[in-house]
């Protein structure tokens, strides 16, 4: 196993359902003390969140980090806009792709890599309704095949 231990905090399964994932990037998150403590306790949600590139910087919106119980006055707004840290060349590459029609940035998961809070973001293209139907049909077909296989092996 790698020297850096990875502890998953939040996952965005819906992103894989709604988008075709193309490129993945790992970004650091600018957080305040009590937010880090809440993250360590697993109190984070990225279901409704989205990412924008503004003036050469990347920001995540609607990432909900619950206030830390023992934080009192030091707690920040749970839905405040958080800056993501990426290399300049990565930001330029992402901005170039997003200028193309149909590309968007979505968060996939939030995790700790060692002691650092990271978010995995992806350059994605939106799925149409018929794409989603095809995925669901494929999943059902695979499930049926597994069921069939299981029944055949038991008898």
Q: 86 lies in a domain?
A: yes
Number of domains into which the chain is organized:
1
Residue 146, number of CB atoms within 10 A of its CB: 10
Q: Where residue 1 falls among pLDDT bands split at 50, 70, 90?
A: very low
pLDDT of residue 86: 87
Three-class SS of 4-47: CCEEEEEECHHHHHHEEEEEEEEEEECCCHHHHHHHHCCCEECC
CATH assignment of the domain containing 75: 2.40.280.10
pTM for this predicted structure = 0.70
Domain encompassing residue 106: 6-126
Residues 124, 19 contacting (CB under 8 angstroms): yes
Structure token digits, residue 52? 């924008």
pLDDT in tens, 4-20: 677 777 788 877 777 88
* For residues 106-121, average pLDDT: 85
pLDDT of residue 19: 81
Q: 24 lies in a domain?
A: yes
Q: 145 lies in a domain?
A: no
* For residues 132-151, average pLDDT: 79
């Amino acid at each position: 196993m790698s020297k850096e231990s990875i502890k998953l905090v939040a996952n965005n399964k819906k992103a894989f359902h709604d988008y075709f994932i193309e490129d993945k990037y790992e970004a650091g998150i600018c957080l305040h003390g009590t937010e880090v403590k809440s993250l360590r306790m697993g109190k984070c949600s990225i279901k409704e969140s989205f990412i924008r590139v503004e003036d050469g910087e990347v920001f995540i919106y609607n990432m909900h980090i619950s206030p830390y119980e023992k934080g009192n006055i030091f707690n920040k707004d749970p839905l405040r806009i958080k800056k993501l840290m990426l290399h300049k060349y990565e930001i330029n590459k992402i901005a170039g792709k997003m200028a193309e029609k149909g590309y968007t940035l979505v968060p996939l998961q939030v995790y700790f890599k060692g002691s650092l809070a990271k978010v995995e973001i992806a350059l994605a293209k939106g799925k149409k309704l018929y794409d989603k139907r095809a995925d669901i049909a494929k999943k059902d077909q695979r499930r049926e095949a597994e069921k069939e296989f299981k029944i055949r092996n038991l008898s």
